[in-house]
Structure 1
Amino acid sequence: MPWARVRVRVAGSPRAGEDRRVTSPAPTTLRARLGAELFGRVAGPRGTQVRDRIHGTPGPRWFGPDDAIRRVHGDASMFVGGLTALLLQSWHPLAMAAVAAHSGYRGDPWGRLQRTSTFIATTTFGTAAHAEQVVATVQAIHDRVTGVTADGEPYAASDPHLLRWVHVTEAHAFLAAHQRYGAHPLDAAGCDAYVAQSARVGRALGATDLPDTAAGLRDALDAYVPELRGTPEAREAARFLLVHPPVPLPARLPYGVLAAAAVAGLP
């Protein structure tokens, strides 16, 4: 994992042109061990083979090597952004009901994370053919995820409005984590490019009316606020992710650092 430094944003608004991030060297052995542990957990037992297939298969791709989406999704700050996205997504009662009833995140949390990380890696770095295959697979799964909440509200994972919520929360969380903790933060134009490029994946999945600028992304998040609330399922998910995480005891401390950073990234 590309963690050369541990970066912490200093609280408060920086003066114009001032970099207020504090960097401190991380011990090489600890960094390597944590990186290997996280990669093994997120990528799964076949992670190396999957990574080689994604990056090594020749063919046209949705995104090029200099695109902003590759810089963001290839940075270790995605560990923080992923946790932020999961916490944020749980605030929508329909999205959380679908996750609680159909995803199996409690029984197989690492399996779900591995599938999600493979999807992101494939659409970002893989060939166009592979990207289209994983999109079709996810769409087929979404078509089967329907139900009714405890309050009697129907939901469907293929609902473009819910797909839009999932998309904007992920785009926000990934970009915010990268800008705060990433090795090479984007400038304003790069942030807009990231939002526009990530929208290509969201539209492929069926989301509609997606923003293509950072300002539009903030507006899209704000528009969902009246729909959000803390349901029992959302609180249970937060406890699962923050209080009783599915990680071995030696990894609890470094995971706690990631979790604290993820909470700090919530809007």
Structure 2
Amino acid sequence: MGDTGATGGPDPGLYGPGSVTWQCHGDPMMWIAGVRALYLQALHPRAVRGVMENSAALSGANGKGDAWGRLLRTADFVGTVTYGTTEAAELAGARVRKIHRMLSATDPVTGARFPVDDPELLLWIHCAQIDSFLHVLRRSGVPLTPAQADRYVAENRVNARLVGLDPSGVPADTVQLAAYFERVRPRLAAGPDAHAVDAFLCGPPVHPLLIPGRNLVWRPLASLAYGSLPAYAHQLYGRPAPAPRSVTRRLRLTGSLLRSIPAGLRWQLPPGHILKAMRRMGPGSRPAPYTLRTSAAILDRPGRA
């Protein structure tokens, strides 16, 4: 049950191999994009307060500010929604909505309690995530045309619906997404919670024997994610960022390096959403950048949504 679509063939899920999202979310730069999203999301004081107060409930673990666990949970959710069956994606969304309905937090300015599933906060988390995914993928060399970028934003209103948003109120293209950030910027700030996220991402606690590896591998990647933030985010955090051209070069170099690792090897890591989807849909469903190039003419054709 759940592996067969409405037409009797294999269930493509909520996106399917014909979507831009399917082709993009298998890219290894998604991990750096996810870290950028954490940095950006933390700049909304109420959104980050909701995470900090409820990190134990959200992760099933003890401690505050579980940024690493949140990154892993987000990756698993995005993988399930993108590559899972329709049933698996809908169940994942239902679980998220159920958890969020039970949680509240304290406004860091007024002291008033507010629900974690406040649509304003859900919209911020969604837009910061989609903007980060799209920004890092394009800037690191994924060949998305403007029409494909718009298609990506529109497709991910499915993701927004699953977490409890009305898709009609969610940006449907890159112009609407940019306009949303212009509207919300006056409400952004880097308070103590944001700086706690920043400190964690700069140096997450690890076993003493793993500190050299963290400094060698993790810190440069986190620094790259931070460097790719918009200028206003750097100003709010109060930390300098490398020159934009330098960041772009590093993103492209890192993207080339990570993409040189055989995809079959990268996709072996649990929970293996992509390999499961390829077994279900067949070898033609393999996510690949060249698929974006060959489909660009179709997606850019006038009249295409």
Q: TM-score range by the shorter chain?
A: 0.7 to 0.9
CA distance in 2, matches of 1:111, 1:97: 16
> What's the counterpart of residue 169 of structure 1?
128
**Which gives a bigger RCO, structure 1 or 2 (Cα 8 Å, sep 6+)?**
2
Per the normalisation by structure 1, the TM-score is 0.73
> What's the counterpart of residue 240 of structure 2?
none
> What's the counterpart of residue 237 of structure 1?
197
Q: Output the amino acid matched with 2:78.
A: I
CA contact (8 A) 1:161 1:207 kept: no
TM-aligned CA deviation for residue 110 of structure 1: 4.1
CA contact (8 A) 2:153 2:171 kept: yes
CA contact (8 A) 2:171 2:180 kept: yes
Question: How far does the alpha carbon of each residue in 1:82-138 deviate from its partner, in whole angstroms, 9 at most, with x for none?
Answer: 011001101111101111100147565544333221110000111110000000000
For structure 2, list consecutive stretches of 5 or more residues without a partner in the other structure.
4-9, 231-305
> What's the counterpart of residue 258 of structure 1?
221
Q: Output the amino acid matched with 1:202.
A: A
Q: Output the amino acid matched with 2:217.
A: P
Structure of higher CA gyration radius: 2
Select 1:159's aligned residue among 101, 111, 118. Answer: 118
Q: Does 1:62 align with 2:14?
A: yes
> What's the counterpart of residue 93 of structure 2?
135
> What's the counterpart of residue 8 of structure 1?
none
CA distance in 2, matches of 1:192, 1:231: 33
CA distance in 2, matches of 1:239, 1:111: 15
Select 1:180's aligned residue among 139, 148, 167. Answer: 139
Q: Does 1:201 align with 2:153?
A: no
Q: Output the amino acid matched with 2:18.
A: D
TM-aligned CA deviation for residue 141 of structure 1: 0.8
* Cα pair distance change 1:195/1:246, threshold 3 Å: farther
- SS of structure 2 residue aligned to 1:229: coil
Select 2:177's aligned residue among 213, 217, 228. Answer: 217
* Cα pair distance change 1:112/1:230, threshold 3 Å: closer
Q: Output the amino acid matched with 1:143.
A: R
Select 1:103's aligned residue among 51, 55, 60. Answer: 55
TM-aligned CA deviation for residue 212 of structure 1: 0.8
Per the normalisation by structure 2, the TM-score is 0.64
For structure 1, list consecutive stretches of 5 or more residues without a partner in the other structure.
1-52
Bigger proportion of residues as strand:
1
Select 1:78's aligned residue among 20, 30, 44. Answer: 30
CA distance in 2, matches of 1:96, 1:110: 14
CA contact (8 A) 2:41 2:128 kept: yes
CA distance in 2, matches of 1:239, 1:62: 36
TM-aligned CA deviation for residue 237 of structure 1: 0.9
Select 2:45's aligned residue among 93, 104, 117. Answer: 93
Select 2:104's aligned residue among 146, 155, 158. Answer: 146
CA distance in 1, matches of 2:192, 2:48: 10
CA distance in 2, matches of 1:162, 1:254: 32
Question: How far does the alpha carbon of each residue in 1:133-154 deviate from its partner, in whole angstroms, 9 at most, with x for none?
Answer: 0000000110111022343143
TM-aligned CA deviation for residue 156 of structure 1: 1.5
TM-aligned CA deviation for residue 263 of structure 1: 1.1
- SS of structure 2 residue aligned to 1:224: helix
Once the two structures are aligned, what percentage of the paired residues are identical? 35
